[in-house]
Structure 1
Amino acid sequence: MNPEHAALIEGEPLPRERVDSFLEAPYRGAGNCATSHNGPAPATRQNEPPSVARQRRRWATQVVLTDELARRACTQRGLKVPEEVSPASVLAVAETDVADLGSIVAAALAHSQAAQTLLAALEAEQTVPEAAVRDYYDRNQDRFLTPDALRRGVTPFDGAAPEDVLPYEDVREVISRELHRAAGRQAFFGWLDQSRAGVTYSHGHEHPGDPSHPDHEHRH
């Protein structure tokens, strides 16, 4: 394991000490069963299997790397780069965010104000056509049943009456915000995949899903 850096980003080192600092802080995120990132504090991890410890380090490297890449992207876009936060400020990550984003991105967004800033900028750049909003409404009528219809057990598949469904005008803004959010997340995923293409990892810091090492786990 390289004693100085966890990875090289376009030839520039990402200090290993940043990963170490992140690992030393208690992480209260939801994590997942594959790598147990919501495990106990470091002092109580001494007996964990070596494969779990290795995966934890690889996972932490990805969180710290995402923060660094986001800082660089914010600088390139002329966005104000927030002050670096302490690893101890990582907030609990909801299981739903882990399910929607994956534990790496969910934790990075909880840890990194730069990643949050970049995500907000990407979301603001998205355009959702009116036709897409209307199409979502028409294809998901079950999400817009009135409270009375829900109490009566009505479903769109049973032939809900027009009065059983909330009017499009009443829910249009909610749908638009949701689609903008989804489009922003997709843009963030695309940016992250492209940005990581120029990264070379030191031994022991590879991506946890990299099949070239024996502990790889495709769920991350």
Structure 2
Amino acid sequence: MTEHDAAVVQGEGIPKARVDALLRAVPPRDRESRPESLARAERQRRRWATQVVVTDELARRACADRGLAPPAEVSPALLLSVAESDVADLGSIVATALAHSPAARTLLTELERQQPVPEEAAWEYYTRNRDRFLTPDALRRGVNPFHGATDADFVPYEQAREGIVRDLRRAAGRRAFFDWLDQARVGVEYAPGHEHPGDPSQPDHEHRH
């Protein structure tokens, strides 16, 4: 690792310049006024950005290994917007990586495609979540899906099935992406000041990913 590297992935240095470019593209979320709080927030922001860049690099390598061709690179200055719902569901590191990295999005799409959704799983979801499948008319009438509703008050399974399978496959693909990332990050080396923001060996670590 050289002084210009933020991390080393599989023996190859990841330049600090890539982290700096991402930091310039993403405004700080914290609004600290005290010098010591601002310094801590900036340290954590740099660590967070390093994780986003490392995720991008790992995804590039995973796509190459799988013969996948991500779309053209997007400049960090043109970073795609990150939905708050994605931050809530995925954590800010993964949500931003998917917005920043064409390779990460390509890999996630491939992992989703690979996920099998058995018919019994789709049917079980339909029967366990009846409230999600009330017809518009039943919703207008305030039908209680768990008491007194009839079959006519629900969208038939045959109509709901495609959406259920899509949602279950998407959820399974995200779990597969997290599993892949946890394994891919093993062995990554970080320069001082670029460690994972949740690294318990750091005195100011936190788990807001």
Specify if TM > 0.5: yes
Counterpart residue identity of residue 199, structure 1: V
- Which residue is 2:170 aligned to? 181
Counterpart residue identity of residue 15, structure 2: P
Counterpart residue identity of residue 15, structure 1: P
- Which residue is 1:34 aligned to? none
Asked if 1:190 corresponds to 2:175, the answer is: no
- Which residue is 2:107 aligned to? 118
- In structure 2, C-alpha distance between the alignment counterparts of 1:177 and 1:156, rounded to whole Å: 23
**Which deviates more, 18-27 or 104-113?**
18-27
Deviation of 1:159 (Å): 3.2
- Which residue is 1:12 aligned to? 12
Q: Is the Cα contact below 8 Å between 1:75 and 1:81 reproduced in 2?
A: no
Counterpart residue identity of residue 9, structure 1: V
Seq. identity, %? 64
Q: Is the Cα contact below 8 Å between 1:6 and 1:19 reproduced in 2?
A: yes
Asked if 1:66 corresponds to 2:55, the answer is: yes
Structure 2 counterparts to residues 1-220 of structure 1, below 5 A: 3-27=3-27, 37-38=28-29, 49-220=38-209
Deviation of 1:104 (Å): 0.5
Deviation of 1:212 (Å): 1.1
Q: Give the RMSD, CA atoms, in angstroms.
A: 2.0
Give the 3-state SS of the residue equivalent to 2:146 in structure 1: helix
- In structure 2, C-alpha distance between the alignment counterparts of 1:218 and 1:38, rounded to whole Å: 15
- In structure 2, C-alpha distance between the alignment counterparts of 1:13 and 1:46, rounded to whole Å: 34
**Which deviates more, 210-219 or 100-109?**
210-219
- In structure 2, C-alpha distance between the alignment counterparts of 1:3 and 1:52, rounded to whole Å: 23
Counterpart residue identity of residue 158, structure 2: E
Query: Deviations 1:40-71 (Å, cap 9, x if unpaired)?
Result: 8xxxx996710100010001001111110000
- In structure 2, C-alpha distance between the alignment counterparts of 1:11 and 1:26, rounded to whole Å: 28
Deviation of 1:93 (Å): 0.8
TM-score (norm 1): 0.88
**Which deviates more, 191-200 or 46-55?**
46-55
Give the 3-state SS of the residue equivalent to 1:189 in structure 2: helix
- Which residue is 1:32 aligned to? none
Change (3 A) 1:110 1:126: same
Deviation of 1:202 (Å): 1.0
Counterpart residue identity of residue 14, structure 1: I
Q: Is the Cα contact below 8 Å between 1:67 and 1:114 reproduced in 2?
A: yes
Counterpart residue identity of residue 156, structure 1: P
- In structure 2, C-alpha distance between the alignment counterparts of 1:107 and 1:209, rounded to whole Å: 17
Deviation of 1:12 (Å): 1.8
Give the 3-state SS of the residue equivalent to 1:158 in structure 2: coil
For structure 1, list consecutive stretches of 5 or more residues without a partner in the other structure.
28-36
